[in-house]
Amino acid sequence: MNKRPQILIFDIGKTNKKCIVFDEAYHVVFEDSIVLNETADEDDHPCEDLQLLADWIESTFLKISQNPLLNIKAVNFSAYGASFVYLNENGETIAPLYNYLKPFSEKINHQFFKKHGDPQQMASETASPILGNLNAGLQLYRLKYEQPILFEKIKYALHLPQYLSSLISKRFYAETTSIGCHTLLWDFQRQAYHRWAESEGLTDKFPAINPSNHTSLDADSGIKVGIGLHDSSAALIPYLASFKSPFLLLSTGTWCIALNPFNQAPLTLEELSQDCLCYLSYEGRPVKASRLFAGHEHEQAVQRFGLDFSQIKSFDSVKKLGRVGEAYLDFVSQLVEKQALAIKLVLTPTVRQIFVDGGFSKNEIFMTLLAQAFPDREVFAAEVPQASALGAAVAIHEAWNTGPLPAQLVTLKRYNSEWK
């Protein structure tokens, strides 16, 4: 039986690790997920267990690639950013995958900016708010001065998606969506690594940059191996592939991130002070973004009001809750006001459509209030099954897929400003 080509994607979040198989029409034909126990670094701070993760990736790849019911032609990876994996000359990991939520050393932070200049200027040039360990470049800088012996042993510092790819390909690459995600490493004006990283010798630890659609061939299986992408940038790919008119994507979860791939103006100091940043798209173009901790705020409020998420999906269901329902409506109204301000920080006049995906896209109240906040724009709830994984598959479409990209990768539902 001549089965159609398929692609395996590993989509690695901080909590859930997924493996997903898409067919040529980008339908999910297999998926599985696992939650792996964390380990701790030398300071007893929790972090990813790299050995557990690598073992799961390798064993799952072997099992799925050899499954006679499947026809895997390619594999790619999407994973969270702001994390380096450190390898020695033998390709062995020699340090923990430090958690980007770990507090950053004030001493090292002071030393860095005393040596390399004004934090605001650095943030502007690298399109990265100063965020401590969330700036992956500072993680490597810290190792140089706190653990110099370890630093000297590092042959490659790989972003997590590229490390995962190397487990299968045995090749080492750097890639722009990972370099460009608030790392403090990339000079967005020069389109090159920032001079501070060059002067500190950090760039000697990075392999060559390859395009996001690059693949190599796994000699054992004959499967093409992608080099991996940062998950937020990967999630944008189905939209960029599906819509040619300018749009803004509000990706909602714990953080709500407004991504405008059509705003490539340099970040202003005012924007940086309000937590704006730039990502790099899989095509290497700047994507201006703003962030709001709205999902977390909403979750806390739901718990505070003693509500169940099933009670708050529609206006009708909330009306039945009496005073609690009124309090919830007031809260969401204020939350949407803050979200609208965050969106306006990166919105441009040419953008006529706002797409919302993730948790809030299923909340009728949030969506209707957002439509009210932008009466001159079209506001849509967007549904993309497994958006980050799908983006990683689309990024290397030509390497494995014999057909054209489907016209309907994204399902849209328009909201207007009136309650239904």
pLDDT, block means (10 residues), the chain with 420 residues:
86 92 95 95 95 97 95 96 93 95 94 95 92 94 97 97 97 95 92 96 97 94 96 92 94 89 88 90 91 92 90 87 92 97 96 94 94 96 91 97 91 83
Contact, 282 vs 212, CB < 8 A? yes
SS3 376: coil
- Verify that 43 and 158 share a domain, yes or no: yes
Write the DSSP symbol of residue 97: B
Write the DSSP symbol of residue 204: G
pLDDT at position 419, please? 63
Burial class (CB in 10 A: 0-12, 13-18, 19+), 16: exposed
CA distances from 317 to 297, 310, 327, 329 (A): 21, 9, 14, 11
- Verify that 126 and 244 share a domain, yes or no: no
Closest to 283 (Cα-Cα) out of 391, 382, 368, 364:
391
Angstrom distance (rounded) from CA 186 to CA 184: 6
Contact, 35 vs 413, CB < 8 A? no
CATH number for the domain spanning 242: value is 3.30.420.40
Token pair 């009124």 is at which residue? 326
- Structural domain contains residue 375: yes
Token pair 């093409």 is at which residue? 224
- Verify that 201 and 339 share a domain, yes or no: no
Closest to 64 (Cα-Cα) out of 34, 31, 16, 27:
31
Beta partners for 109?
A: none
- Verify that 148 and 255 share a domain, yes or no: no
- Structural domain contains residue 1: no
Contact, 208 vs 173, CB < 8 A? yes
Angstrom distance (rounded) from CA 331 to CA 21: 40
Encoded tokens for 27: 């339908």
- Verify that 162 and 25 share a domain, yes or no: yes
pLDDT at position 1, please? 46
Angstrom distance (rounded) from CA 285 to CA 354: 20
| CA contacts within 13 A on the Cβ side of 69 | 5
- Convert 214-244 into a string of H (helix), E (strand) and C (coil): CEEECCCCCCEEECCEEHHHHHHHHHHHHCC
Where a domain ends, among 185, 204, 227?
227
Helices (H) then strands (E): counts for the chain: 16, 22
| 367 CB neighbour count, 10 Å cutoff | 21
- Verify that 170 and 291 share a domain, yes or no: no
- Structural domain contains residue 387: yes
- Verify that 236 and 279 share a domain, yes or no: yes
- Verify that 86 and 150 share a domain, yes or no: yes
- Structural domain contains residue 420: no
DSSP states of 16-32 as a string?
A: EEEEEEEETT--EEEEE
- Verify that 222 and 240 share a domain, yes or no: no
Burial class (CB in 10 A: 0-12, 13-18, 19+), 262: middle
Angstrom distance (rounded) from CA 407 to CA 402: 15
Angstrom distance (rounded) from CA 247 to CA 152: 45
Closest to 357 (Cα-Cα) out of 200, 207, 239, 197:
239
- Verify that 267 and 251 share a domain, yes or no: yes
SS3 154: coil
- Structural domain contains residue 332: yes
- Structural domain contains residue 203: yes
- Verify that 313 and 215 share a domain, yes or no: no
How many distinct structural domains can be found in the chain? 2
Encoded tokens for 350: 């040419």
Where a domain ends, among 185, 203, 227?
227
What b/e readout covers 389-408, taking b as 16+ CB neighbours within 10 angstroms? bbbbbbbbbebbbeeeeeee
Structure pTM?
0.90
- Structural domain contains residue 358: yes
Domain that holds residue 205: 6-227
- Structural domain contains residue 253: yes
Where a domain ends, among 227, 247, 275?
227
pLDDT at position 2, please? 59
- Verify that 123 and 146 share a domain, yes or no: yes
> At a CB cut-off of 8 Å and minimum separation 6, what does 345 contact?
258, 271, 274, 276, 290
